[in-house]
Homo-oligomer: A and B are copies of this chain.
Amino acid sequence: MKISKQEEYGLRCILQLARAGVGRAVSVREIAAQEGLSADYVTKLLVTFRRAGLIESVRGINGGYCLRRSAEQIHLSDVLRPLGGFFYPKDLCSEYPGKLEACSHVGGCGIRPVWALLARQIYTTLNRTTLADMLMEEKEVEQLMASRASQPAGSAAPRPQVPASPTPAVAASAAG
C-alpha cells in the first residue's frame, strides 16, 4: 500500500499547471525541465489528465497544456483517480479470491470493513484537498492538514462540485 510513481509525478505535473493559472498553457518541455522528468513521460501523464477532462491541450508553436477548471475546483481525488486503480476495488473479495470460486471469508469477512474504513478516511481527505491548497507555502499546508487531522474523517462529506474554497485564498502568494 503505497503511492505509485505515476501518482506522485502526475500530481507534481498538474501542480505546475495550477501554478500557472487556468488560461495559461505550459509546455511539456517546461514542466519536464522543472520536475526533472523526460518530456515523453510528462506527456504520458498529461494525456491521462486530458482524457479525464481535467486539462486541455493547446497545439502549435506556443502550445502546451492548461487547467480546464480553477485550482480551487480540482480536488486531489480528481487528480489521483485517473492515474490508476484506487485504493481498493469496489468488491475486493471478488477480485482476490485466490483460486477458489468464492473467497473463503465470504459470509464473514472481517477484512472488508477495515479496508472500507481506510478507503473512506483516505477519500475524505482527498476530497477535501484542492490543488489550490497545495500551492500554499509548505508551512501553511501543514497547518491546514493539521486542522483536518482533528476532524473525523469517516463521515464521507459529499464533495461539492463548485465549492467555495475551504481555505483562505493564499494560493496566489505561492505562484510568484
Contacts and interface: CB of A to CB of B under 8 A. Distances in A.
A87 B145 contact: no
Which A-B residue pairs are the 4 nearest by beta carbons? A149-B154, A36-B98, A36-B100, A110-B134
Interface in A1-35: 1-5, 7-9, 11-12, 15, 34-35
Nearest to A136: B110
Interface residues of A, number: 70
Contacts of A115: 3
B15 A110 contact: yes
A110 B135 contact: yes
A148 interface: yes
A61 interface: no
B155 A152 contact: no
Contact of A113 (B87, B114, B126, B145): B145
Given A1-B86, A110-B138, A99 B36 contact: yes
A76 interface: yes
Interface in A100-123: 100, 104-105, 107-118, 120-122
Contacts of A85: 2
Interface of A: 1-5, 7-9, 11-12, 15, 34-38, 76, 80, 84-89, 92, 96-100, 104-105, 107-118, 120-122, 125-126, 129, 133-138, 141-142, 144-146, 148-155, 174
A117 B149 CA distance: 7
Contacts of A149: 117, 120-121, 152-155
Given A2-B86, A8-B96, A110-B136, 9 more contacts: A1-B4, A2-B87, A2-B88, A15-B105, A37-B98, A117-B146, A146-B154, A150-B154, A153-B153
